[in-house]
Amino acid sequence: MSSREVVALSVGGVRFVTWASTLQQFPESRLAQMLNGNDREFKLVNGEFFVDRDGALFSYIMDFLRTLQISLPTDFSDYQRLQREAEFYGLYPLADLLSQEHLLKPRLEILEVRFSLHEMQAFFRIFGSCSSTVEALAEQITVFTGQQSGQSWNSPFPSQKPLVPLPLERPSHHDVVFQCGTEYSAADQFVARYVSIKPDNRKLINGTNVLGLLLDTLLKDGFHLISTRTVTSDENVECYSFERMKRPAGLTITVNQTPGSSGVAQARRSQVQKGK
C-alpha cells in the first residue's frame, strides 16, 4: 500500500481516517502489518479495516502516531488501559512511556500569598511549590519607583516624573518578594512604588488594589483559593493559599526513531516559553 494512500479504520465502531504513512510510523507494529494483510485480527469490511477494540482510547493512539508525542487531558486516569491498548497494537515505545505514570500524571501545585500593611506601604511574599510557576509569575510582575511631592499613597495618578522599574527580590527559586505604596524621604518628598501585573497595564500603588489584581490573576491561571488566614495578628499578615492540578511545565514526551526501527522512547523537557 502506498504511504500516501488514505486508510479508513473502524475501531469498536468509531471511524478514523488517516494516511497509510501514519500507520506505518512503526513498521513492526500490528497497524503497519495490517496494511500488508498480515494480521487476521483486523478485518477488511467494505473497504475499511475493522478491529474490536476501544475506539475512545484509540484516539490517543492516533494522536501519538501523528505527532510522536503524548498529549493527555488533565483528568485522564486510564493509564493502564491505554498501555494495554498500545501493547495490543505493538506500539511498545508508547507502552513503555505509559508505564512511567510519574512523567505523565498531573501534579498538585500549592501557592501561598502573604500580604501585610504597614502605614503607607504594602508588602507581598509569594511562595510556590513549583519553581517554574513562580518564575513565570515573577515575569508578569513589575515594580516601578519614583519620587512625588505631597501626594497621598492612595492617589490613583502616578507622578509625572519617569518611573524606574525595580528588580523583584527572589530569596529562592520558590518565592518572590515585592512592595508598593509610599514612604517619606525628605523635603516633603515621597518615594512611591507602583506595581503592574501583566496583562493588566495599570500601575497600582494601593496595596489592597494590587492584592485584588494578584488574586484575580491566579484564579484566571487555574488556581483555586482553598483557605485564608491571619498569620500573626500583631503584624497583620494575611495568608491566601491556592492549589491547582497541572502537568509538569515544559514536559514533552517524544519518541526518537530511525527508519525501519520500532523506536526508542525518551522523555525530555522542552524550553518553557516566557510569559507562559
**3-state SS, one letter per residue, for 158-178:** CCCCCCEEECCEEEECCEEEE
* Helical ranges in 110-206 per DSSP H: 131-140
> Regarding beta strands 43-45 and 48-51, do their DSSP bridges make them parallel or antiparallel, or are they unpaired?
antiparallel
What's this model's pTM, rounded to 2 decimal places?
Answer: 0.60
Predicted confidence (pLDDT) at residue 113 exceeds the cutoff of 50: yes
Largest Cα span, the chain: 91
Dist CA 249 CA 124 (whole Å): 25
Q: What is the pLDDT of residue 161?
A: 64
When the pLDDT of each residue in the chain is averaged and rounded to a whole number, the result is 83
DSSP 118: E
Q: CATH number of 6-103: 3.30.710.10, 1.10.287.1080, 1.20.140.10, 1.20.1530.20?
A: 3.30.710.10
Determine the residue type at 144: F
What are 189-229's pLDDT values in tens digits? 678 899 999 999 899 999 999 999 999 999 999 999 999 99
| Closest by CA position to 217, among listed 137, 133, 116 | 137
Q: Which pLDDT score is estimated for 143?
A: 95
pLDDT-derived band at 58, boundaries 50, 70, 90: very high
**Predicted confidence (pLDDT) per residue in 89-112, tens digit:** 999 988 988 888 777 777 889 999
Q: Can you tell me the distance from the alpha carbon of 115 to that of 180, in angstroms, rounded to the nearest whole number? A: 11
How far, CA to CA in Å, does 272 sit from each of 60, 95, 105, 108? 24, 26, 19, 19
Q: Which of 74-83, 147-156, 188-197 has the lowest mean pLDDT?
A: 147-156
Any residues with CB less than 8 A from the CB of 89 and at least 6 apart, and which?
29, 30, 31, 61
Q: Which residues, 6 or more positions from 137, have their beta carbon under 8 angstroms from its beta carbon?
A: 126, 128, 176, 217
b/e map 42-68, b = 16+ CB within 10 Å: beeeeeebbbebbbebbebbbebbeeb
Residue 165 has pLDDT above 60, yes or no: yes
C-beta of residue 10 within 8 angstroms of C-beta of residue 62: no
Q: How far apart are CA 122 and CA 239, in angstroms?
A: 14
Domain range summary for the chain, segments of one domain joined by +? 6-103, 108-246
